Structure formats: structure tokens, C-alpha cells
Chain A
Amino acid sequence: MYYQLINFGNEEFHAYPDKSLYWKRLNTLIVSDLHIGKSISYAKNKQFLPPYDTKEILSKIFVSLDKIKPSNLIIVGDLLHDVFSTLSLKDQDHKNLSQYMKNTDFIWIKGNHDKNIQIEGFKNFTNYKIDKLLFTHIPIETSLFQICGHYHPKVKISHRGKTIFKTCFIHNEKIFILPSFGILTGGLDIHNKQISDVLGKNNLSIYPVGQDKVYKL
């Protein structure tokens, strides 16, 4: 898999087209906003989305774990969509997860969607600090460099009269926001007030995610 090199907080990261971020120095893989079980949570409101999102998200993460074999996996929040989501995790899924946990340390930072949910074998954190980096779902007041999720950023690209939206990795000097690793999760325009309130409007580095490649704007 091709990756895009990103420098942030005096560290080097690799951004992959599967929307994961790899911190090579510490052999740590970072993902965000998986929203496992979103389909089942919608089903309770009678919106019957294809019930394959959980299966696809897990297989995507397993593929990545197999390839990279990281020592740590940090999930920067919203692993699950809501309380109902645990229904979509079958016995086999739990077995597979604990298998992977043998070689990889799973660090689950709680997001707004899953803050009150527990899964067996998962360690929970509100945020997690490594050196000068703070992993947190939503950015907080701090002097540390922060790696977050929550916003599902996407960027509008206009070129030759055509306009497309692409999911992206985005950061300013202090804050890095990951795209959503989920399947049925949409995105929020990076120019939306919610994101610009956090990142500001200038000195942004934006990395749109393509089919097999992460680009740099």
C-alpha cells in the first residue's frame, strides 16, 4: 500500500488510503470513528441500511493489522455507533478481536458516541498521552500536539469546472484530525464552522484520500 508521509508534532506519520495513520517510530497504528453497528442503530428507527458495515469495518482493520503488525492500535473515539451496536458484534468477531489483542495493544479512546459502552477485553481512556502527543476524540485546551477524530473531515476540490468531495486527513500546526474509518459514515466539509473553529482557516495541510493513494493539496 502506498502511503503519504505527513510531518506533525516533530514526528513522521504514514497516511494510508484505508484511512488509517501509522506512526512508525513507535510501531503504532491509529484509526478513528469506525462507527461499528451504525446500520443496526438505524434499523431501530426502521431505516434498514445494508447490515454489512460491521463485517466490512472489522475485515478492513484486520487486513491492516495483518500487514503492519503494530504493537499498538489507538482508536481515537467512536469505535461504536451506540449501545445497540454491540448487537452487531457476533461471537466470531469477539474471538477474532481477542486473537489480535494477543500481539497488539488496543487503546480505545472514548468518543461522544461510545462513551458509556464497554466491550470485554478493551481498555478505555478519555485521552491518551505519548511524549508530546495527546490522543483524544475531540480537541481540548492543551499545549500538547493533539491527534483527534470526531469531525469526519472532507474537502471540496474544484478543478476544470468539476467539483468533488473527498475524505481527508487534515492538520494545522497543533491539531491533527483523522478521517472516519467507517463504511456508512459521511463527512463534514472542512470549511464548516465546526471544523474551522478548531483548526482555523490558514496554514492547513490537507490530504485527500483517493482510491489507492493519499494525495497532498
Chain B
Amino acid sequence: MNINKSNPLLLHPLNKWMKKKKWSWFPHQIETFHHVRTGSDVVVFAPTGAGKTLTGFINPIYDLIKLKKFKGLHTLYISPLKSLANDIVRNLEKPIKELDLNISFQVRTGDTTPYKKQKQKQKPPNILITTPESLALLNSYENAKEFFHNLKYIIIDEIHTFLDNKRADLLSLNIERLQTFSPNLQRIGLSATLKNKQDAKKWLCRKKPKIVSYENSVLPKIRILESKERIPWSGHMATYSINEIYKEIMQSKLTIIFVNTRAQAEYIFKNLWLINKKKLKIAVHHGSLEKNLRLKVENNLSKGLVDCVVATSSLELGLDYGDVEKIIQVGAPKGINRLLQRVGRSNHNLNTPSKAILVPTNRFEFIEAKAAIEEIKKNNLDKIDLKEGSFDVVAQHIFGTACSGQFEINDLYKEIIKAYPYKKLKLNDFKQLINLIQDGGYVLKNYDQFKRIFQLRENKNIYKLVNRRETRKYRMNVGTIIENPMLKIKLGTKTLGNIEEVFIQNLSQGDSFIFAGQILEFQSMKNNLVQVKRSKSLISKIPSYSGGRMPLSTNLANSVRALLAKSNMWDLYPEQITEWLKRQKNISKIPKKDEYLVEQFPRKKNFYTVIYTFAGWHANQTLGFLLLRGFKEFNYKPLGFVANDYAIVLWSLKEVKQIKTILNLGLLDKHLDNYLEETSIVKRLFRDNAIISCLIERRLPGMEKTGKQVLFSSDLIYTVLKKNEPDHILLKSSYEDAKKNMIDYDRLREILKKIDKKIILKKLTSISPLAVPIILEINRENLSKKETDEYILEDLENEILKEANVLSIN
């Protein structure tokens, strides 16, 4: 730190309050204050509990009180979540009220009433706390320029959550818009600790960019749950350890159990209740639950009225629940950053370590958990890859811009390419996106008389919205988060939450399933409402939610490989894990850190090839499809494949003799296009693209399909477009999205580039111990849809274990 002289914050209006609370200023707060005052855009990296929120407000509050009187909107604060925005208001309220400072502040989100919104427009507060979507909306109002022309600061909270998704694109475009309205605007980003801090700086900062960083020297205490039970070969439900998890809950005041999927949350919640002899107060929290149910849990959590909450990433961010003593992570950590974020939810005191327990649900996850703990000790975080901007978001932005008034095409283009994700946006693509908003942008000009925006006759470079009615449509469609079609679940007259339409379609009347911790029987579906009643059934399905499947981070994957290869560590593991790895070493091989083990063996008339890539689920899934095509080409008669985070298994009728010839970069170049075409990936992304770019209207929750349901579907549009106009910008956009985001293209490319020299091929006579988990997944995938019955799986497991001759390890 290079701030000499005494601490300038001692003269800050908040200093009195700080003193009263017996708090002192953090070094990063002093440093940020200095940089911002001297005109820099700043990103602040600090762990939770280090006064991050306050850091953002130090300069605005100082300016508002100490500098000349200011009227109107001064500072905009962007939060990733609505709930977090409300929390920020509460935190800001305390010092401002106590010190009686003359600063007005309000929140504006989708939940704000129209009346209040209207008031805000007429008489804006000094500080407005909002979300990226609400900012986009504000920018689309006719008086946007006037509203923002004096804006001094924009603060982006939890900026690390924005960097790698379409919301980041939307936000970056709208920040540039603000900068145009108010050229003196300064940017302040607040982030959890990141590996690639420079990237976050590049993304946000324009003026004298600065990074301020505060690292916590107290490391969290993380351990793996010690279990007397055997860790299962595969599966994700942690049934084996439920009693031990329960014990851990009993031993601490307040525990959050984090899981990776909503299905896991429901399942573990149910199982905990089955053994809840002490009548502990256990709650469940995930994104599909009705808002009121969620709020109730959050409330009880902050008041310490519960003993334990089972939660998904829905409880991961921000909100401060002071009394959380322990975090239990069930299932693979998947990434270091994510794990740290979760662990940080306990104990907000910086000087004492957070406490967390990892519960691996299967054997590979044990290694992964171990590796994650090692990396956290070394403070080796994951890199967040900045995303290149998507086309559809630009289209939406063009529409929004047109809603706020006419625009000049070159001015808008120049503004857009200032946004970091769009640095490389080509003028030609931009023009096509203008056309897309204008009339769909088709080569066949059929819609001349129906345009949404049109060029002025006197200046063809200026576009104008055709009528104000269109602004309403923009407002209905704003945002980049596309939910799967959801249906409301009703128990009597009470709404429990939303469930995916796809799941309900697979149910018949009388089927039971678990939701919100209750076993429910499906009765009927009417007008997008799913009517259920309570059920006593023992066999029930768990809704699985597509999406949300986080792949293993490259960083952690590398660490897993390294750890696996360290055979001197094995003796420290539970005996079953040690035995498992030792047997693998004897029967086949443990791959070294940079080796790719490929095992081949016959099994039940078929021929199996297992490739251990540790490339994460997305990349492995793609590789599986590509190999399927490669095998077909060589006439090995492949039958199928299954992929997980660590490996891929393919089975075929014939022996795969030339795996080294097939498994290389050529595979990707040769088959990727076909793959994208044949699988529904691009088609699915086209739907998102069509909605985000406002080509088709969003079906909002609760909005009913028109009576006759002869609506077009995005699939039909996709098919017609692909046949007639394969170069259309939205197809290009969907294809790019697929390549960039869905299939982990870059990661796969990196691996295939070097794989051929690093393949270790093992021909075996039967299945190896390392292959058992993924072979088990084959049967799970083929069965799970209909029969999630654990007994059947148990049975199958035993059968396969006998085959691998590894039963004795138990």
C-alpha cells in the first residue's frame, strides 16, 4: 500500500459511526478511496466480511456530504440478485439514519411497485440500488439521458458473478450507455478474490484502471467427513453418510448444507427428516420454491430460528447470516472459487477461520474433495474465462436503445465496441442485428410495411422506433435469463413453487414426487397449474432440473490428476479408497499428471473403451459424441456412451483397434459441425437466442398459452430458417453460443491438441477398478428415468462389482 500520511478516511462522514461501532478502516478501503478520488475506475477484491459493500459507498457518501450540494441521481449500485439489493438497502440505512446524513437512497427491482417506480423517475434518490435488468429498463425510457446525465458513480457488486455469462454482456452494454449519458461517470467493481484480477479490470475499467486487493490470511478449516460407512462407487445422494451428517448438524448451532442440484436438496432434506429424532429445525431452500417459502427460510436463518438449511447455489451469494457456524458441502466441489464462496457463508468474522466439511458422494469425489482442500491451502483459485459477447444481447440492446429515442447507427456501434465483450464485434454483424430488430433481418423482404424500427428519410443512418407500443414489448422481454417452461404447483390453494414442464409431462396421474420436502401425488394439470395432494407413497421421483450442471473446473481437474498420481499419499486415505487405487495400479495403471489413460476390455459380448480425460462433463459429453462418429467411421459398430466429469466410456460391438488414430484434433475438426447439427444443442440455444433478441416473445410464468395452442414453437422457426436462410445472423449467433459455452470447445481443443502423444493404452481382460464408477453410470442412466429405486441399483452394483472382482475391497 502506498498511501502515505495519515488515513484520509478519518475525516470521512462515516468515521464517527465506525468509531462508535469500534471498527477501524481496512487498508483496501483507504486505498480505494484514494484511487477513486484521483479519478480512477477501480476493482476491489476482498473476501466476505471485509466491508466490501461499504468500500463501494465510501466515495459517493463522501462526495454527497463534503462536496457541493447535489440534487438528483448520484450513484447507481448494481447487485446480481434482487434479494441482495434489499439487503444492501438495509445495510446502508444503518449509518445514514444513525448519523442523520442528508442522502436519499432507494431500491428498484422487478418487485418495486409501478407507483414507486414512477415516483423515482420524477424525483430520483441520490443512490439507487438495482439489478442489471432494471438498469436496462431504465436505459430504455425516453428520458434516460436526462435521468442519468449527472451520474457520478456506478458500483458493480459481486462482479465476479457477471464475467462469464450473457448477463455480463447486457450489463457491459448498459454501462457504456450510461457513460455516453454521463461522460464523467466512474466505475467501481466489488469482487470476491479472483485468480485473473487483470481480466476483471479490463472488463470494467476505462479511466486510469486500478486494482485494489485484500487477501485474508486466515485460511478456512475444511475437512472431509469421516465416515464409518463405505463411500459408494457412484451416485450423488450421499445416502451412506446421512447419519453422520445429522450428527454434525446436532453439534453446531447453525449449519448450511450446500448441494449441487435441486434434486439433491430435496433428497437429502427428505432423508434428514426421516432420521430427525431430536426434532431439529431443518429447512430446504432452492430456486424453484415459491418466493414466500424462500423468504421465510431466509428470515428464519438470519434470526437463527433454524438449526440447518439444505440449499443449492440459491444461498451462495452475499446475504449475511451472522450465526452460521458450519458449512457442509455434499457432493463434488467442482471448483475452488465456488467452494470458497460457499465456505465463506459461515462465520463472517475475518480473524477466525470458517469451518466446513466436505461429504463426497462417491469415490472420485473423495479425490476431488481432497484436491480442493489442497488447492485452497495453496490459495490456487480458478480462472474465470471472460466471455466474448453474444449477438442476441446486442439485438436486445438495440431494441432498448430505440425505445429511449432515435439513434445514429455509427454512434451506437462505436459505443457498443467500447464494451469489453464486444471489442471484436464487426460492423457488418452489427448491421445485421439492426436488421434483425427492424424486421427479422431476412433476405426475403416480405415485411417492409411492418417494420419495428425504420430509417429516417432525410438520414438513412438514423433509426427510429415505429410506435411507442413497442416499448411495452421490449419491457416484457428484457433480460438474458431464460427459464425452462415452468408450471406452478398447487397443494390445495397454496402455491408451493415452480416445476419444469418436462418433468410433469413424464408423470401420470397418481405418480408421486418430492417437492419442497414433501411427497406429493400428481393429480391433474389445468391452465398451467399442477394440482397435487399429499402422498404416503414410499417410491417417489425427484424432479431433475436441466441446466445447473456445473462442470469440473480445469484448475481443480489438474489438481485431481496430480493428487491421483501421488501414490505416497494413498495411505492417508480411508482404507477402501487406498485399496481401490492400489488395485487399479496392479490391474491397470494410475495415469500420471499429464497422461491420458485409455482402457479397453470386453464385457458381456460388447467391447468397452474408457478414456480418463478429467475434462469436465461438458467437454466429455462432446468428446463422447465425436468419438461415437469416429468409431462409426471405422466400422466398430458403437452402441453408446456415457460421460461424467472425469471420464468417458463407449461400448461397441467390435473391438476398437485404432483408438490412437481416432483420438486427436482431427476428430474435432472433422465431426464438430455434424455433431452440432445432429444433437439438439444449437436448436435449444436458438430458442434462447430468439427470445433474447426479441424475435419471439417470452412466455412469462403464469401467462397462459392461447386456448388453441396453435402457437409456433422456436423449433419450427429454427427448421424453416435453417432450410431457407442458413446464414441468418441468429443461426450464426446460436452456433457461436454453442461453440463457446455449451460444449467447452476451447478446453476440448486444448486436450486433443496434445493427447495423441500422451495416451497410455491398457488392454485388459475385464473391467478395471477405476472404470467401475462410470460403468455403473451406464446402468443408472438407462434405468433412472423409470426406476430410481435404490434396491435395484444396489443389486446392479453388486453384480458389476463381482465382475470386476473387487467386492472384497468393501
Contacts and interface: CB of A to CB of B under 8 A. Distances in A.
Contact of B708 (A47, A184, A194): A194
A121 interface: no
A47 B282 CA distance: 48
A204 B710 CA distance: 22
Given A53-B720, A56-B720, A186 B442 contact: no
Given A51-B440, A88-B446, A162-B785, A186 B697 contact: no
Contacts of A110: none
Interface in B702-758: 707-713, 716-717, 720-721, 723-725, 728
Nearest to B450: A43
Given A40-B446, A185-B710, A188-B708, A46 B720 contact: no
Interface string B442-472: 1010110010100000000000000000100
Interface in A101-160: 151-152, 156, 158, 160
A10 interface: no
A119 B458 CA distance: 39
B785 A187 contact: no
Contacts of A87: 446
Nearest to A40: B446
B709 A186 contact: yes
B696 interface: yes
A163 B506 contact: yes
Contact of B716 (A48, A161, A183): A183
B439 interface: yes
A184 B717 contact: yes
Given A43-B446, A161-B785, A52 B452 contact: no
A47 B696 contact: yes
Interface residues of A, number: 37
A190 to B, nearest CB: 12
A118 B439 CA distance: 28
A47 B695 contact: yes
B786 interface: yes
Contact of A188 (B696, B710, B720): B710
A43 B439 contact: yes
Interface of B: 439-442, 444, 446-447, 450, 452, 470, 473, 502, 505-506, 695-697, 707-713, 716-717, 720-721, 723-725, 728, 785-786
B470 A46 contact: yes
A39 B707 CA distance: 20
Contacts of B786: 160-161
B447 A52 contact: no
A152 B450 CA distance: 28
5 contacts: A40-B447, A48-B452, A51-B446, A52-B723, A188-B710
Interface string A5-41: 0000000000000000000000000000001001110
B506 A50 contact: no
B506 A39 contact: no
Contacts of A184: 712, 716-717, 720
Contacts of B506: 158, 161, 163
Nearest to A41: B450
A129 to B, nearest CB: 27
A33 to B, nearest CB: 8
A87 B445 CA distance: 12
Nearest to B452: A46
Contacts of A42: 712
A186 B710 contact: yes
Contacts of A194: 707-708
Contacts of A183: 716, 720
A50 B709 contact: no
A44 interface: yes
Contacts of B728: 50
A183 B697 CA distance: 19
A43 B440 contact: yes
Instruction: Please give me the 8 A-B residue pairs with the lowest Cβ-Cβ distance, nearest first.
Output: A48-B440, A161-B785, A51-B446, A52-B724, A43-B450, A43-B447, A184-B712, A50-B721
A50 B717 contact: yes
A211 interface: no
B710 A46 contact: no
Contacts of B710: 35, 152, 180, 185-188
